[in-house]
Amino acid sequence: MWDPAVYRRYGTERSRPFFDLVGRITTETPRAVVDLGCGPGELTRTLAGRWPGARITGIDSSPEMIEKASAEPGPVAFRLGDVNDWRPEPETDVVVTNAVLQWVPDHPALLVRWISSLPAGATLAMQVPGNFRNPGHRAVWDLAEGPLREELREDPVDDAAGYADLLLGAGATVDAWETEYVHLLPVEGPDHPVLRWMEGTALRPVRAALGDEEWTAFRAELAVRLTDAYPERHGLVAFPFRRIFVVASV
């Protein structure tokens, strides 16, 4: 289950890759724009400012996220749906999917299917985190044992060159890059900021799989490891975060 409030911690840091991604889309007057895995919707709504004449839809498989997104009136339509079932409409000129496909095991096949069925001139823009080998994820992986490890995927994404190869092979023109942001997270309250960050995303499956006592023990041990890996300096913790971007056009 996604908790929109916990996910929106560090909203400024989380939104920057979305704007860096969308900034590389050159389509000027799309007829329809879709944001797949739109989350709580505030980033999707910014697309209406960029393309006021377009029909914009946000789709997400989390009822909590769609409830949050739909709560605010505006020109964007939000609906519940799984990206695995989504197919472009004839007027879908822009597809955005930001920080979603790392949760979707067969996403390379989806990307090929989508790019092959978009109308001429359309653009598909995706971003996924590429930080699964960083100390935070390694610590979660090392602490997870037995069945809990099966809830996690060690490295669920390709690199930018891999996605470029995939989409060039499907006939697209590709712009692909990677960026390592260094988020400087303030130390506020008793919890390590990287732990607070990870609770909004990567730790969700761990929390769901563990009972309260096991979770408390897991969280405490993880906090020790994160404090070693990401020490405080000047009241801040430097959290390097690599992200992978691909903008493909047909």
Ligand X SMILES: C[S@@+](CC[C@H](N)C(=O)[O-])C[C@H]1O[C@@H](n2cnc3c(N)ncnc32)[C@H](O)[C@@H]1O
Token readout for 208 is 């769901």
| Nearer to ligand X among residue 9 and residue 138 (C-beta) | 9
Element (H, E) at 136: helix 135-143
Nearer to ligand X, 38 or 157 (CB): 38
With binding defined as CB under 6 A, does residue 83 bind ligand X?
A: yes
Q: Which residue of 37, 88, 130, 193 would you call a contact of ligand X, by CB under 6 A? A: 37
Q: Is 174 within 8 Å of 167 (Cβ atoms)?
A: yes
What is the Cα–Cα distance from 84 to 171, expressed in whole angstroms?
21
Buried b (16+ CB within 10 A) or exposed e, 134-155: bbbbebbeebbeeebeeebeee
Q: Number of residues in contact with ligand X, rule: CB under 6 A?
A: 20
Q: Which of 21, 34, 54, 65 binds ligand X (CB under 6 A)?
A: 65
The SS3 assignment for 1 reads coil
Question: Which of 22, 33, 39, 219 lies at the binding interface for ligand X (CB under 6 A)?
Answer: 39
Q: What is the CA radius of gyration of the chain?
A: 19
Query: Hey, which residues between 182 and 241 contact ligand X (CB under 6 A)?
Result: 201
Among 62, 92, 131, 134, indicate the residue that binds ligand X (CB under 6 A): 62
User: Of the candidates 72, 84, 168, 224, which one interacts with ligand X according to CB under 6 A?
Assistant: 84
- Cβ 231 to ligand X shortest distance, Å: 26
Choose among 126, 135, 110, 146: nearest CA to 202.
Answer: 135
- Catalog residues that contact ligand X under the rule CB under 6 A: 2, 14, 18, 37-39, 43, 60-62, 65, 82-84, 98-100, 103-104, 201
